[in-house]
Structure 1
Amino acid sequence: MSIHSGIRVNMLPHVYNPKERPWCKPENAATEELKNQIENCPSGALSYEMNKQTDH
């Protein structure tokens, strides 16, 4: 595990667990938590794209 992946695990341990499969469970965090963590990723290795909102 790299230093940067260790930071991800420490910030959101309920989302990232390298000992489990699947190791990444984004459904365990709120959208804002994920966005904040990704935007603060020191390596820039993570990114996200928001779903487009549609009017019903």
Structure 2
Amino acid sequence: MGFKEYRGEKITVYFDGDICQHAAECVKGLPEVFNVKAKPWISLDHADVKNVVEVINRCPSGALKYKI
């Protein structure tokens, strides 16, 4: 599968579903950005970039990466 790219106005997030451990740190941390019931499930323009980075840095598997 590899990384899937999600672009926002100020940040791009990459998600690797192959290594995701489903700890849900992202979903619990910013449900308005990381919503598994939505398509696409990552919507980056619903939160401040600083908050998105903070939540991504809590990802225990490293499945989420970002580029500003």
More helix by share: 1
Higher relative contact order (CA 8 A, sep 6+): 2
RMSD of Structure 2 on Structure 1 (CA): 1.3
* Alpha-carbon distance between aligned partners in 2 of 1:33 and 1:43, rounded to the nearest angstrom: 19
More strand by share: 2
The percentage of aligned residue pairs carrying the same residue is 35
Aligned position for 2:46: 28
TM-score w.r.t. length of structure 1: 0.72
In structure 2, the gaps of 5 or more residues are: 1-20
Number of residue pairs matched by the alignment: 48
Task: Report the structure number with the largest CA radius of gyration.
Answer: 1
Q: Which runs of 4+ in 1 moved over 2 A?
A: none
TM-score w.r.t. length of structure 2: 0.61
